[in-house]
Amino acid sequence: MSTLQPALEKTALSPAVRRRPRTKQVTTAAHYLVLLIVSLIIAFPILFALSTSLMTPAESLSSPPHLVPSHLNFTSYHNALQAAPLGKFLLNSVIVSAVIVAGQLLTSSLSAYAFAFLRFPGRNLLFYLFLATMMIPWEVTLIPNYLTIKQLGWLSTYQGLAAPFLATAFGTFLLRQFYLQIPRDLYEAAVLDGCGHWRFFLTVVVPLSRPALGTLGVYAFLQAWNMYLWPLLITNKTGMRTVQIGISMLQNEEQLAWNLIMAGVVLVLLPTVLLLIIGQKQLVKGLLAGSVKG
Amino acid sequence: MNAVVRARRRGRELWSAGPFLAPSLLLFALFFFYPLGKTVYLSFFLTNAKGEAKSFVGWQQYAELFASPDFQHSLWTTLLFVLLTVLPGLLLALLLALLVEKPLRGMAFFRTLIISPVTVSVATASTIGLLLFNPSISLLTYGLKFFGVPDIAWLTDPFWAMISVSLVTVWMGLGFHTILLLGGLQAIPQELLESAKIDGAGYLKRLRHVVLPLLSPTLFFVLVVSVIGAFQSFGQINILTAGGPSRSTHVLVYSIYRDAFFNFQFGSASAQAIVLFAILLLLTLLQFTVVERKVHYQ
């Protein structure tokens, strides 16, 4: 019996064993083929935007349309930055995004400290108040916020674009979760040494939480850079538009060729594309961090 | 004694907590809690063009909304848009995640291409959409001609406008949804798949009985997030169709935007915002009580 068993197994398995490498190769090849086709279809709009941005104006307007430019023509980037004041739009977006990122990092790291390290009356109630701000769709606060900004005379200003986004409950939660992992002993020891809250916060907590601050920073940047409805409402001067508004209005207002508009699109995509290629992990972390919000 | 010390310490920590909390609380008060109350308040008032409440009308604006054919049309349009974007988007992202999950050589490259839509914003995606749907130079129409498809009026035909806006929306969300589902797939323990394989379960059987049940929390999460996102869609509609043609893409948020900032009916627009909030709240609760029962948590 014991001598028969391996022989039986061998005969039973052998056709399968012989067939396997061939079928496996074929399925792998098929898998690659499907992957190639599917990934080109999914990435096509972005690749086509890049391709169009390198065409001459005539090529970008021709019918039947060109898929690729006859030769690489980089002048559209130069023209987009100059003629369509895309340079100014980019600058506006950079400033507003930087202010929002800095603001969120500052306000969130401070409030997270209070929730993670301090025990004070009403802490739970406040925590729920913070939570409430995440539950309510922001269309609900949109109209009064617009009226407030208008009353402050902040329409078409950087402060008007950034102000409503400087504090986030989500950032507070993200950082609080991180702070809670900091050993309690460290805090007790610091307090025993007579170290005040501010010194402990600045010299221990902030340096230790750099990874979480990075994630929040990427998330806040993506949000701010891609914002659409708020800057659309708040900016009524061309010179103050953010790049998202600028790019989507190029088509309506000026008779610009598509190569110029697509050059603009590529420039707007640049920061996030770079994040995807160089810091995919950071980008994914930043995006995932935000998804908790829903 | 001890209680007194503790109370004193808590009191002292309240003083320490103040400056840490003040910046966030101040900003929330000004840009969240005050406007939240104000929206509810405005929804009960007729307003002037400056957005000042003029006369109290109670529930009248809500009643008028639900009696108005335009608003009913907006609600149905929104529902149709949600149906057209959420389920196809979820299914497509699932297929993509399954496709890029296999650890093949060079997969990082394909994965990057497939998740590349995460890099677009609503404005850039819609601007590219304008180029691809452009009547005179549409590469899309031109490409479909090869397959014998007649010319499609992408943005000017009421039926196709809805399809075009949905296409852009699904594409925009694909990258992110695929990332989420890929994360879910990678969290499935390999031992379970191996033992199912040894038991003779083929790929589809394993998918149905092992992978999908274990992935259901992630699928549920993506469902909830994309339903909420779809209800709040605005940019792609404003850029691609401006609610048209003949109101075929006039969704709820677009209607709020028009009524508040073009018709200056801040009261009615506020009531619509509250309706949107109520719908989202109800739907989220519904999803948590009905759909979540079918979700398998480990």
Cβ contact B23–A111 (<8 Å): yes
When divided into structural domains, chain B yields a total of 2
Q: Which residue of A has its CA nearest to B117?
A: A43
At A112, is the secondary structure helix, strand, or coil?
helix
Q: Are residues A107 and A242 in the same domain?
A: yes
Whether residues B157 and B26 share a domain: the answer is: no
B193 and B242 housed in the same domain: yes
User: Are the Cβ atoms of B119 and A294 closer than 8 angstroms?
Assistant: no
Same domain, A240 and A148: yes
Q: What is the pLDDT of residue B252?
A: 94
**Does B142 contact chain A (CB < 8 Å)?**
yes
Could you give the 3-state DSSP secondary structure of residue B44? coil
Whether residues A88 and A227 fall in one domain:
yes
Is the same domain home to A195 and A70?
no
So what's the pLDDT on residue A45? 95
Q: How far is B69 from chain A (nearest CA, A)?
A: 22
> What are the helix (H) ranges across B102-157?
107-114, 122-132, 139-145
Taking contacts as CB-CB distances below 8 angstroms, the residues of chain B near A265 are 124, 127-128
User: Is B138 in Cβ contact with A120 (below 8 Å)?
Assistant: no
Q: State how far the Cα of A87 lies from the Cα of B10, in Å rounded to an integer.
A: 53
Q: Is B47 left (phi over 0), alpha (psi -120 to 50) or beta?
A: beta
pLDDT in tens, B213-225: 999 888 988 998 8
pLDDT tens readout for residues A79-128: 888 777 888 899 999 999 999 999 999 999 999 999 998 888 889 899 88
Residue A156 lies in a domain: yes
Is any Cβ of chain A less than 8 angstroms from the Cβ of B53? no
B9 and B40 in a common domain: yes
Task: Give the chain B residue whose CA is nearest to the CA of A28.
Answer: B104
Asked if residue A236 and residue A199 are part of one domain, the reply reads: yes
Number of CB atoms found within 10 A of residue B135's CB: 13
Considering the domain architecture, whether residues B50 and B123 belong to the same structural domain is answered as no
Q: Contact, A267 vs A77, CB < 8 A? A: yes
Residue B156 and residue B248 share a domain: yes
Structure tokens, A281: 């992990």
Distance from the Cα of A265 to chain B's closest Cα (Å) equals 6
Share of chain A above pLDDT 70, in %: 89
- Gap from A2 CA to chain B (nearest CA, Å): 23
* Domain end (from A53, A75, A97): A75
Q: Domain span at residue B227?
A: 68-294
Q: Pick the residue from chain B with its C-alpha nearest to A136.
A: B277
A292/A290 Cα distance (integer angstroms): 5
pLDDT recorded at residue A1:
39
Domain identity same for B55 and B82:
no
Burial environment of residue A69 by CB neighbours within 10 A (0 to 12, 13 to 18, 19 or more)? middle
Residue A280 lies inside a defined structural domain of this protein:
no
- Rounded to the nearest angstrom, the minimum Cα separation between B228 and chain A is 7
Same domain? B258 vs B284: yes
Regarding an ipTM greater than 0.90, the answer is no
Based on the fold, state whether residues A246 and A107 are members of the same structural domain. Answer: yes
Q: Decide which of B13, B42, B60 is a domain's last residue.
A: B60
Whichever domain contains A106, its CATH number is: 1.10.3720.10
Rounded to 5 degrees, what are φ and ψ at A182? -70, 125
- Quick check: B237 contacting A, CB < 8 Å? no
In this structure, the answer to whether residues A139 and A249 fall within a common structural domain is yes
Q: Which candidate from A61, A169, A265 shows the least CB-CB separation from B128?
A: A265
User: Are residues A230 and A175 part of one domain?
Assistant: yes
A201 and A227 in one domain? yes
Q: How large is the average pLDDT for residues A262-269?
A: 92
In a domain, A97, yes or no: yes
Same domain, A139 and A199: yes
**A191 residue type, one letter:** V
pLDDT(B6) > 70: no
Q: Does B232 touch chain A (CB under 8 A)?
A: yes
Domain hosting A66: range is: 14-75
Number of separate domains in chain A: 2
Both B35 and B120 in one domain: the answer is no
- pLDDT tens digits, A146-199: 999 999 999 999 999 999 999 999 899 989 988 998 888 888 888 788 888 888
B145 and B203 share a domain? Answer: yes
Q: Which residues contact A102 (CB under 8 A, 6 or more apart)?
A: none
Q: Please tell me whether residues A64 and A111 are part of one structural domain.
A: no
Cross-chain residue pair B276–A244, CB shorter than 8 Å: no
